[in-house]
Amino acid sequence: MKLRAKKQRGGNATPRHDRRTPMAQSRPELAHDVLRHAHGRPLESLFAPQSIAVIGASEKPGSVGRAVLENLHAYPRSVYAVNPSHTHVFGQPAFRRVTDIGVPIDLAVIATPAETVPRIVGECAEAGVRSALILSAGFKECGAPGAALEQEVFAAARRASPPLRVIGPNCLGVMVPHAGLNATFAATSPRPGSVAFISQSGALCTAILDWSVRENVGFSAFVSIGSMLDVGWGDLISWLGDDPRTHSIVIYMESVGDARAFLSAAREVALTKPIIAIKVGRTEAAARAAASHTGSLTGRDAVIDAAFRRAGVLRVATIEELFDMAEVLAKQPRPRGPRLTIVTNAGGPGALAADLLVVSGGQLSPLSPASVAALDQVLPPHWSRCNPIDILGDADAARYARAVDLAIREPASDGVLAILTPQAMTDPTAIAEALKPLAGVSGKPLLASWMGGPSVDAGRNILNQAGVSTFSYPDTAARAFHAMWRNSENLRSLYETPTLTSSQPHDDARAAAPDLPLPSATTARVEQRLLAARNDGRTLLSEHESKQVLAAYGIPVVTTRVARSEQDAVDAAAQLGFPVALKLHSKTITHKTDVGGVRLDVRDAAGVRRAWRGIEQSVAAKAGPGHFLGVTVQPMVRHDGYELILGSSIDAQFGPVLLFGAGGQLVEILQDRALGLPPLTATLARRLMEQTRIHAALQGARGRAPVNLGLLEQILVRFSQLVAEQRWIREIDINPLIASADQILALDVRVVLHPPGLREEELPRLAIRPYPSHYVTRWKLRDGTPVTIRPLRPEDEPLLVEFHRTLSERSVYYRYFEPLQLDQRIAHERLSRICFIDYDREMALVVERKTGANGRREVLGVGRLSKTPGTDEAEFALLIGDQWQNRGLGTHLLKRLVQIGRDEKLARITATILPDNVEMLHLCRRVGFDLHAEPGDDWHAEIVL
């Protein structure tokens, strides 16, 4: 993990990979160094081992050890047999233990009984083996004893330094066809290709291998991941994201494992390499939480869908669709919209494709008058004159090519599907040849459905070789186009620049003193309220306490007074004004209506007294004495708005999950809800609302004024912030949340806490790390200019645009090693990826000041600390604005990055610096980096934390 720096006043620095990898063209700060040393590429020994030991090697027919040795026979690196019972295997020396081999071993392939594996892994750790494939079964899939055995294996692997990386146990192994590596016991080897396949099912792997040979599908990598004792989805997706031979990643998933690692890696990779997943378990009964509206509405499979959307992963339902989408996304550009133009020589197949497209949520693109006129010139008089474009059954190659060309040129079209049915006058091969020049020239996807058997095979092959994805049936092709659009739109929305909402977790109020980041008053106040309830041994907040929690986060709540006596209730009602609502005040009862604890539309003092007594008597009869602590008094809210629900509950895999949808008493019956993962931005909040049916009504329906959707977005963002920060909250429901043109108001809220005996480290972890507000600090430049140093956020893109406008050509050149033009540097596609960082993978700090009477924000510099996945190392980058150099800012910012590295439990931070970059060398020395000359003209800087 290296950093290359160039001389610059103020110490601007840039990573080596900024100019050496293709990704650096669009995202230099986040590209990975393909020349990273072995410790920085922890999976290199798994995918490109220089030496392999097969432990359990055997000549016994039908044994796993024999199959592995035979598959490795052609691997052009050293392969050693280890078997204590044999001196030779297939005529080659066999070693009793891996420690006896006497040369460094990159990869150990273990095929021995489960009970021997902990000892063998310990020996591998002792011998310095860097990684292991454990093919053996008999671990946690066999119950508690196997799970305990698995933990022994993990402990043995962790005794090595660096830790020995393990794939498995109970896996098929790993193949890298381009390198000739087949470290599996499979009977089939796939051909090289651009698709990486990862599966939790070894049996499915063997079936896919057989299928791939028949269908001529090639792979860049083929991984059976097993029970994911160590290496998981996140590790593999990160590795494959850097692999230049991998163009798309397909996944067969049975369990998520480390949800944060999976989402972190997938969000990073999915924008440049499609990730398509099939996740089993769709029909599993949804998890029920009887005391929570949110819990009862949050099914496990729906959470998987929400998580995949948040990571940009395309979920499919069948194995066929899995590889269809991998092929089409690897070959074709992603559509810019949902509109498809269909060109067909038969009306029926075109209608089938159109039906499937529209039912799926796509659209048929309209034909402009210009397009119709142009088609009139090249098609027979009886053509359909609409989309689908039926060019009739006697269409030859020239007619097909002209029609498809015009369809591609249609401005309203986002993609084209060409359908061919073999008719007497049809030449499928010649037509495919005629369409070849149209492939990949428009920036729009071109799909084809060549229907039929052997007579169309040659045409299919021609189109496939030209990069046009072909499908046997037109409805399948239409479904694929819509899935492409769905994935494209989801990725676009994930990286859409959000607006900055108020009361977000990065306000300057969180940093009240220089270099002393303090928690916000809001966070601390709510934490104290929750702590008081926990100290009382309670898991349920009262309604009044719950509303105070919402109000602290800027969520509007109806005015609520607690009355502990009948007279207090009368007085509170008089102060608020009639009519009022009285509700049970209790610290033990969850749903007030179930015990007769609600009285509405109370219009006078006598009614208040009757309501008090009625609630007290009903609660005593239905729940028993001791639950009635008085009532809350609230004004009756007259509204013509919509009743919504906003809630959160805990998912076993992904932690807190947000829910938004139609609320009220029929919430479970209506089942109109969408799920998301906290934290949200304004854009993500809007997308969450758009997934519900009620969203159309909120925009205004049947003469009703629209709801203030901007305010509703802010409330969702604030609510997600509450959920992300207050980890002791297990469940929270706002139901109903009233939304009208005039107001948005929480009428009722319920907050349930985790059990008091739970330790903080046992609390469910958010699947996506929230904004690290504790890294916000204040500081002053040498001239006394006050600045705020804080982590970067997605909303900062406009500030970075202005920052780049201030940079000189010299600063730009020394940062990026080329005269990168302003329009390239501030392109949304680039800056959005820089701003949408994953705080688990990297930490970027911006230095900003406020200027002018209106407090306009201005960025003075940016520092970035990029972690290497799977290691405890990181690299840094600095970019200081020209006018702010030589004021101590670069030194202070690097010190902050080093301290953050310590806080994040990193072991070291390194950099490679050019010898003429005197400023950077001096800066590193001041901060405590060790410097030494590397071979050539570079200097290596390293600080051990």
pLDDT tens for each residue of 141-200: 888 898 999 999 999 999 988 889 999 999 999 999 999 999 999 988 888 998 999 998
Q: In the prediction, which pLDDT does 668 show? A: 74
Q: In the prediction, which pLDDT does 292 show? A: 44
Q: In the prediction, which pLDDT does 282 show? A: 66
Nearest to 630 by CA among 543, 564, 546, 572: 564
Residue 352 has pLDDT above 50, yes or no: yes
**pLDDT (tens digit, 9 = 90+) per residue, 732-791?**
999 999 999 888 999 999 999 999 888 888 999 999 998 898 899 999 998 888 999 999
The span from the CA of 65 to the CA of 154, in Å, is 22
The CA angle 928-929-932, to the nearest 5 degrees, is 140
Task: Provide mean pLDDT across the span 366-393.
Answer: 93
The answer to which of 8-17, 329-338, 638-647 has the lowest mean pLDDT is 8-17
Q: In the prediction, which pLDDT does 868 show? A: 82
The span from the CA of 261 to the CA of 767, in Å, is 8
The span from the CA of 237 to the CA of 234, in Å, is 5
Residue 16 has pLDDT above 80, yes or no: no
Q: In the prediction, which pLDDT does 583 show? A: 93
The span from the CA of 228 to the CA of 214, in Å, is 30
Q: In the prediction, which pLDDT does 439 show? A: 86
Confidence of residue 289 (pLDDT cuts 50, 70, 90): very low
Any idea which residue has 């810019």 for tokens?
336
Residue 11 has pLDDT above 70, yes or no: no
Task: Among 3-7, 492-496, 634-638, 687-691, name the most confident range.
Answer: 687-691
**pLDDT (tens digit, 9 = 90+) per residue, 413-448?**
999 999 999 988 889 999 999 999 998 778 899 999
Instruction: Tell me what the pLDDT averaged over the chain comes to.
Output: 86
Residue 885 has pLDDT above 90, yes or no: no
Strands 856-867, 598-602: pairing is unpaired
Nearest to 61 by CA among 188, 207, 185: 185
Alpha helices in 421-539 (DSSP H): 428-435, 457-465, 474-494, 521-535
The answer to which of 282-296, 347-361, 540-554 has the lowest mean pLDDT is 282-296
The span from the CA of 420 to the CA of 400, in Å, is 9
| Sign of the CA dihedral running 828, 831, 834, 835 | negative
Burial class (CB in 10 A: 0-12, 13-18, 19+), 9: middle
Q: In the prediction, which pLDDT does 18 show? A: 37
Residue 12 has pLDDT above 60, yes or no: no
The answer to which of 644-648, 708-712, 782-786 has the lowest mean pLDDT is 782-786
Run of H or E residues at 907: none
Task: Provide mean pLDDT across the span 124-135.
Answer: 95
Task: Provide mean pLDDT across the span 86-94.
Answer: 90
**Is the bond preceding residue 28 a cis peptide, omega within 30 degrees?**
no
Residue 38 has pLDDT above 60, yes or no: no
Task: Provide mean pLDDT across the span 293-299.
Answer: 45
Residue 33 has pLDDT above 90, yes or no: no
Q: In the prediction, which pLDDT does 15 show? A: 45
**pLDDT (tens digit, 9 = 90+) per residue, 221-274?**
999 999 899 999 999 999 999 999 999 999 999 888 899 999 999 998 998 889
- 8 A C-beta contact, residue 924 and residue 938: no
Q: In the prediction, which pLDDT does 893 show? A: 94
Residue 50 has pLDDT above 50, yes or no: yes
The answer to which of 367-376, 716-725, 914-923 has the lowest mean pLDDT is 914-923
Task: Provide mean pLDDT across the span 860-871.
Answer: 88
Run of H or E residues at 43: none
- 8 A C-beta contact, residue 525 and residue 545: no
Identify residue 566 by its one-letter amino acid code: E
Residue 288 has pLDDT above 50, yes or no: no
Residue 509 has pLDDT above 50, yes or no: no
Confidence of residue 817 (pLDDT cuts 50, 70, 90): low
Burial class (CB in 10 A: 0-12, 13-18, 19+), 15: buried
Confidence of residue 639 (pLDDT cuts 50, 70, 90): confident
Question: In angstroms, what CA-CA distances link 837 with 264, 627, 797?
Answer: 9, 48, 12
Confidence of residue 25 (pLDDT cuts 50, 70, 90): very low
Confidence of residue 40 (pLDDT cuts 50, 70, 90): low
The span from the CA of 713 to the CA of 646, in Å, is 12
Q: In the prediction, which pLDDT does 14 show? A: 47
